[in-house]
């Protein structure tokens, strides 16, 4: 059985759990992620949607990504904490915001995305593969 990742918002009104094998951990430096987090990048864990459950009231915001996909970001309407996102580019995946994990050690970044957009004071993690944009998704596992 795979490990469970649990997390939630700052005020505790929203809780979530993922059980399964994550797809990839990423630091994203795109302009949308920087604005959404209020930081130099977003630390995201992409997971299969079928292993994800969430409880509590959520608000959302819809926009176009830099790659042209329709994106929806979900957040707590009480405290504003970002919870997860979904996108038309990979509708079977959920993008969890690693800052909300109960165990921060559950997040491991393997890639850094949109690295030319990185703020000069936000250094790229040298232990990750770097991409100028969103790379194509890996082929499906058999």
| pLDDT tens-digit series, residues 17-54 | 999 999 999 999 988 889 888 899 999 999 999 999 99
Contacts of 7 (CB under 8 A, 6+ apart): 15, 16, 17, 96, 100, 101, 102
DSSP class of 101: B
What's the pLDDT at 12? 97
Per-residue pLDDT tens over the stretch 85-128:
999 988 999 999 999 999 999 999 999 999 999 999 999 989 99
Structure tokens at 42: 């977003």
Contacts of 131 (CB under 8 A, 6+ apart): 111, 112, 113, 114, 115
Of the ranges 8-12, 119-123, 131-135, which one carries the lowest mean pLDDT score? 131-135
Task: Give the span between the Cα atoms of 57 and 52, in whole angstroms.
Answer: 16
The pLDDT of residue 80 is above 50: yes
Identify the three-state secondary structure at position 129: strand
What's the pLDDT at 11? 97
| pTM passes above 0.75 | yes
- Give me the DSSP letters along 51-87: GEEEES--EEEEEE-TTS-EEEEEE-TTT--EEEEEE
């Amino acid at each position: 059985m795979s490990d469970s990742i649990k997390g939630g918002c700052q005020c505790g009104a929203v809780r979530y759990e993922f059980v399964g094998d994550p797809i990839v951990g990423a630091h994203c430096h795109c302009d949308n992620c920087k604005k959404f987090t209020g930081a130099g990048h977003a630390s995201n864990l992409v997971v299969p949607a079928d292993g994800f459950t969430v409880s509590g009231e959520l608000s959302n915001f819809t926009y176009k990504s830099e790659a042209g996909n329709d994106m929806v970001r979900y957040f707590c309407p009480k405290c504003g904490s970002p919870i997860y996102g979904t996108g038309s580019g990979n509708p079977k995946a959920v993008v969890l915001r690693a800052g909300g994990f109960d165990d921060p050690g559950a997040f491991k970044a393997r890639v850094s995305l949109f690295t030319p957009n990185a703020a000069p004071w936000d250094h790229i993690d040298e232990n990750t593969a770097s991409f100028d944009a969103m790379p194509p998704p890996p082929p499906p596992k058999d």
